[in-house]
Amino acid sequence: MPKYVYNFTEGNKDLKDLLGGKGANLGEMTGLGLPVPPGFTITTEACRFYMHHGFNPEELAGQVTAAIDQLEAVFGRKLGGDVEPLLVSVRSGAKFSMPGMMETVLNVGLNDQSVLGLAEFAGDERFAWDSYRRLIQMFGKTVLGIDGELFAEKLEAKKRAKGAASDVDLTAQDLKELVEDFKAIVAGETGEAFPQDPREQVDAAVIAVFNSWNTDRARLYRRRERISDELGTAVNVQSMVFGNLGPDSGTGVAFTRDPASGRLGAYGDYLPNAQGEDVVAGIRNTLSLDDMAKIDRASYDQLRQIMSTLENHYRDLCDIEFTVERGKLWMLQTRVGKRTAAAAFKIAIQLVDEGLITMDTALDRVTGAQLNNLMFPQFDAKAAKTLLTKAMAASPGAAVGQAVFDSATAEAWKAQGRTVILVRRETNPDDLGGMIASVGILTARGGKTSHAAVVARGMGTTCVVGADALDVDPQAREFRVGGVTVAEGEVIAIDGTTGEVFLGSVPVVPSPVFEYLDEGLEKALAAVGADGSAAELVMAVHRILGHADAVRRLKVRANADTGEDAERARRLGAEGIGLCRTEHQFLGDRRKLIERLILAKEPAARADALAALLPLQRQDFIELFTAMDSLHTTVRLIDPPLHEFLPDITALSVSIARREAGGEVIADEETELLAAVERSHEANPMLGLRGVRLGLVVPGLFALQVRAIAEAAASLIRAGLSPKPEIMVPLVGSYVELDIVRDEAERIIKEVSEAEGQVLDIPIGCMIELPRAALTADEIARAAEFFSFGTNDLTQTTWGFSRDDVEGAFFGRYMELGVFQVSPFETIDARGVGALVREGVRLGRETRPEISLGVCGEHGGDPDSIHFFNQVGLDYVSCSPFRVPVARLEAGRAAVAVAEGSSTA
C-alpha cells in the first residue's frame, strides 16, 4: 500500500523530494534531538495524486487518522477535545522554498467547546479567544476563500472602538465578540456555519494547502524561480505551541548569519506574545534578538546554541523559525536561508575559512545570477541627497523610480516602460506581480524576515522595510513623512544596503565588484579604501571566480564587433572572440557603400564599391585582432539580408509617389534605388537571401571580407603580434555550400600569404543554426574545422518562430498556460533544440574528432544553458562582454556539478 504519511521521526533532510523541504528538515531536527513539536508530513506524492485526479488517494484518510491517533497518544490529549485540547498547525512545504506563496492554517481543532477547554488548560481566557479568532480568520481566508479584508476591517473597527493601539490591547471579551463577528462573516459569505468538527478542519486545511500549489501567485513565483509545476507540495501537520500565552511567550525568526551582509551574529526578529504569522506578515514591528536576550535570557542562550548546532550540521546559513511557550523554546522550522548576492559570496568564503566547506562547495553555493546582481551600480556617496527617513536594509542595491502604491499600478506602469518603486504598509503574497515589476520595494512595517524582505532577497530586488516614520495612504495614493508628502508618480530612491530613503533621483556609481572585474583587484581594493565590507566582498568574488577559472573545462569567449568591445571583453576575462558580426561594421556612413555594391550593374562598378570597402574592413580587423592578440577571434562573414542596408520599401515608395504627384521629377539614382529595394524585398527575409547564400549569389562580397581578414592578420604578424583569426560562414545548410566558399577563401588566403610573405593559418568553419545542418553535421564537418552553434536562429527554425514577432504576441500567454517555464530564447530548449545540438556534436566529432565546438547565441551567457553546453561537450561558450564573468562562474559550477555527479554515480 502506498505510504502517504510520515511521522517526523521517520524523516531526514535527504527526503526533500518526498517530504518537501520543511518536512525533511523537521525530521532532521527531530533526529538531532532538538525540541521540535511532534507531527507528521503528508507527502508530495499525495499532492500530485490530488492535482491529477481532483481527489485524495483513498489510503490517505486512514493514514492521517493513524498519525493523529499517534499524536494524541504522545500528548495524552484529544484533537479539539473539550478538556486540554490538542491543536495543530497545517502548513505547506515544497521541495524548494517558496516563502509566502502557499498556505498555512494555525490553531486547527478549536471550536465553540474546545476554546473553553483551552482557556481553562492555559489559565488564560484572552489567549484562548485570540487563538480562536485567528483560526476563523485564517481558515476563512485560506480554506473558504473569503476576502481577508472583511476580517481585517472587523478587527480594525474593534480596535478603534476600544481605543486599542494593537491586537494585544484587546480584552478577552473583545475577542469573544470578534469571534462572533468572524463567524457571522463565514456564514454570510459561504451560507454555512464555521465547521466545528476538528477532523473536518484538518482535512479542509490539507486540501487548501494542496490547492495553494496552483494559485496564480505560486505559479508566477515558480516561473520566476524556474521551479517545475509538477513537483507539488507536502503538508506538515504539527502540534501547536503558543507564542501568544503572555509576556513570557513569543515567536520569532532567526538567521545564523546576517542574510544581507553575511556577518556572523544573532540576526532575526522576535515578537513577544504573538504567533508566527505576525512576524512574517509584518503587521507589527519586531524586536531584535538582542532585545529578546533582555526579555528571556535562558531561551535566547538556548536558541544561540541551537543556531550554532544547525549551521555546523548543515554547513550553511540557516533560517530558523521558533516559538517560546511560557519560557520553553520550540523549533518550528529550519532551512538553508535565502541571502543577498553579496552575502552569498561572503558566507561561502567564510565557511571555507572556517573549515566547514571546500572551495568546490563554495563555488556551488553561489550563482551567475547573484554575480550579475553584484555588477549593478550603487548610489554615489558624494552626491547631494534629500533624506526622507532611514529604516531597515532588507535587500541591497540602489533603486530609483516613481512611487506606486499597489501592485496593479506597478505592473501597468512597468508595461509602459516606466521604472517604479512599490510602496506599501506591508506586502502580502498577492503583491508578487507588483514586486516583480518594481526595481525596489519600500514598506512601512515589518522586519528582515517579513514577506517583503524575504521575497525581495530571493529576487535580488532592492528593498527597505520597517520605515515606521512613513504614513502610507494607499487611498490618497501618497505617503507622508516628516512634513513631506510624496504623491504617486514622484521619484524616490531607496538604498537597500543602508536602509536610507531619499526624495528625488540619486546618481549611481559602478559597483566595487564591477570595478574589480573591469579594472583588476588592486585598483578595486584601492577604490573601496577603508570600506571593509566592500573589500571583503571583492576578495570573496576574486577567490571564487578564480577557483571557477581553475576547475572549468569550458572556455569563455565574447561576442564583440569592435576593438573597444574586444578590449573590455578581454578585461572581463574573455579568452577570445566567439562571434564578430561583420554586418555591424557596414552601418552608419558605410551604408552608402553597400548601396553602391547592390546597385552596381556592371562588374567594374561592383569592383569599385568593393575596393572602397576593403581598407575600411581591413582596419576594423586590425583593431579587433590587436585587442585579441594571441587569442582566437572568430569572424562571421556578413549574414543579414541586403535589404537591411537599404531604405524601407514602404517609406521610399510613398516618398517618391507623393513627390511625383506634386510634379517633382525624380532623379534616376533614386528610381534605381527603389528598383533595387523592390528586387531585394522578401516576404520572409530571415529565411531568404542571407548568410552563405549571399556569398554565393553576390559576387565578390565574401571575397572582400576574407581578403580584409587575411591582410589584417599579415600586417599584424609583420608587426610582431600573434593574431588568431577564424573565418565563420553563416546559415550553412549543405556541405556543398561550405565547400564552394572554402575553396574561394583558401585561394584568397594563399594569395595574400604569398604577397605579404607571411604564413597564414586561418581555420574555416561554419555556424550550425539550421536543423538540417545539425542533422548532417557529419557531412559538413568534412569542410569545417570548427562549428559554432547559433542557437538564436536554431531556436527560431526548430520551433518555427519569428523571434521579433512571437515574443510580444503570445509568449506571455504561453507562460501562463505552462507551455513554457521560461522563454526558449532565454534558456535553451534542451529537449528540442538541445537534441539538435547534441546530435550536431556527435556527428561532427564522428567525422572530425579534433573539431572545435562552441556556441555564440545569447544562450552562451545563460547560466542554465551553460550547464547544458558543458554536458554535451562543447569546447567554449561565447556571450556579450558584460556576461563573460557570469559565464566563467557558471562554467566552473558546471564542472563541479559533473565531478560531484561522477563521484556519487
Closest alpha carbon to 870 in 857, 848, 855: 855
Percentages helix, strand, coil for the chain, rounded to the nearest 5? Answer: 50, 15, 30
Is 856 one of the catalytic residues?
yes
DSSP string, 814-881: HHHHTS-SS-TTTS--TTTHHHHHHHHHHHHHHH-TT-EEEE-SGGGG-HHHHHHHHHHT-SEEEE-G
Residues 6+ apart with CB under 8 A from 493: 379, 385, 398, 399, 400, 501, 502, 503, 504, 505, 506
* AA identity, residue 612: A
Cα–Cα distance, 438 to 442 (Å, whole number):
10
Helix (H) or strand (E) holding 374: helix 368-374
Gap between the Cα atoms of 870 and 555, Å rounded: 10
**Phi, psi values for residue 664, rounded to 5°:** -75, 140
Name the catalytic one among 856, 859, 867, 879: 856
Specify whether the backbone of 609 is left (phi greater than 0), alpha (psi in -120 to 50) or beta. Answer: alpha
CA distance 833 to 854: 15
- Identify the bridge partners of residue 387 per DSSP, sorted by sequence position: 502
Q: What angle do CA 50, 51, 56 make, to 5 degrees?
A: 5
Q: How many CB atoms lie within 10 A of CB 287?
A: 18
Angle between helices 591-599 and 668-680 (to 10 degrees): 80
603-627 vs 591-599: helix crossing angle, rounded to 10: 150
Spatial separation of the C-alpha atoms in residues 869 and 700, rounded to whole Å: 36
Interatomic CA distance for residues 288 and 290, integer angstroms: 5
Catalytic residue among 451, 632, 643, 859: 451
Catalytic annotation present for 451: yes
Q: Give the active site residues.
A: 451, 856
